[in-house]
Amino acid sequence: MHHDIEFESAGVTLRGWFFSPDSEGPAPCVVLVHGFSGVKEMHLDEYAKVFQAAGLACVAYDHPGFGASDAYSGTPRQEIDPWQQARAMQDAITYAQSRPEVDPGRIGAWGSSFGGGLAFVVAAIDKRVKAVCGQVPMISGHRNFQALVRCDFWDATWQGMAFDRQARARGEAPITVPVVDENPMAGAVIPSADGYEFFTRVAAERAPSWRNEVTLRSLEAFQSFEPADFLARISPVPMLMIVAVADRLALTEFACAAYENAIHPKELQFVPGGHFDPYEGQGFEQSSTAARDFFVRHLLAGAAKTAAPVPVGATA
């Protein structure tokens, strides 16, 4: 159904999977990325299989410094840098375009949670993307930080970030913080019972490479990442936003408000439950089907209309 792949990004090796559809000729390809600290085994393969069965090739991989992928030089593992991840996604697109099974003119981007915001940013800045889907997307790092981190922890968090910068400048190991904790009142990045249940259970069942920690600098980078600022720049590329109606991590109201500022062509799909429900069960069926049908309409159905790109400065 799929095989292991490696590709280069800024001098390091990123690792993932390639899913090739059972069809003749080069196929459209969707590049899939996970969310905050997530690794590819946390159901990216399940989404890719749904897309593959519809005739779409897929590339799913681990972010730099997570799972099976190497970290950039000078960057510790388990560190989330949104712009490093954005460049890595662009390198994944380049890799996909290099494969003979892929039509380089029909590339889609799919991301979930933090990766949903990431996919929107990449679609806004890289016009090789011809359709983009963000599932339960993180829209505003600043607003999400304020919503998720208890206000009585704010000062300690800022002080910790300043201390961490000084310590790292002295050559000391970076400070790390847990992604989830059994106690929702503890100082975890994702302070929710459903987050703890999802990450720990799925890691035990199918994702042994997942680690319950990120560097403290990841939280600093997170709170400065604003995908909402890029939504209006995605047009005229078609955009699908999949929102969980009771999402209290990538908050439903944040996503819906940001959607109103996006420019057509755009689509909004609601799915039941909270932030983690789209990954499994009925939520997965609804979210994967909506994304599949969106990519089929915009990447497969338009195959006959795809034209070779015209170099800058040339005339068609």
User: What is the per-residue pLDDT for 24?
Assistant: 85
> Which residue ranges make up each domain of the chain?
2-142+225-302
Residues 59/110, Cβ–Cβ less than 8 Å: no
Residues 6+ apart with CB under 8 A from 110: 30, 31, 32, 33, 47, 51, 119, 132, 133, 134, 135, 291, 295
Average pLDDT of the chain to the nearest whole number = 93
CA distance 260 to 3: 39
Tell me the per-residue pLDDT of 97-155, one tens digit each, with 9 for 90 and over: 999 999 999 999 999 999 999 999 999 999 999 999 999 999 999 998 888 877 787 88
Q: What is the largest CA-CA distance in the chain?
A: 62
Q: Specify the residue for token string 């697109």.
A: 93
User: What is the per-residue pLDDT for 311?
Assistant: 47
The stretch 58-74 carries a mean pLDDT of: 97
Nearest to 135 by CA among 260, 261, 9, 292: 292
Nearest to 111 by CA among 92, 135, 128: 135
Tell me the per-residue pLDDT of 202-248, one tens digit each, with 9 for 90 and over: 999 999 999 999 999 999 999 999 999 999 999 999 999 999 999 99
Domain 2-142+225-302 has CATH 3.40.50.1820: yes
Tell me the per-residue pLDDT of 141-172, one tens digit each, with 9 for 90 and over: 999 888 887 778 788 888 999 999 999 999 99
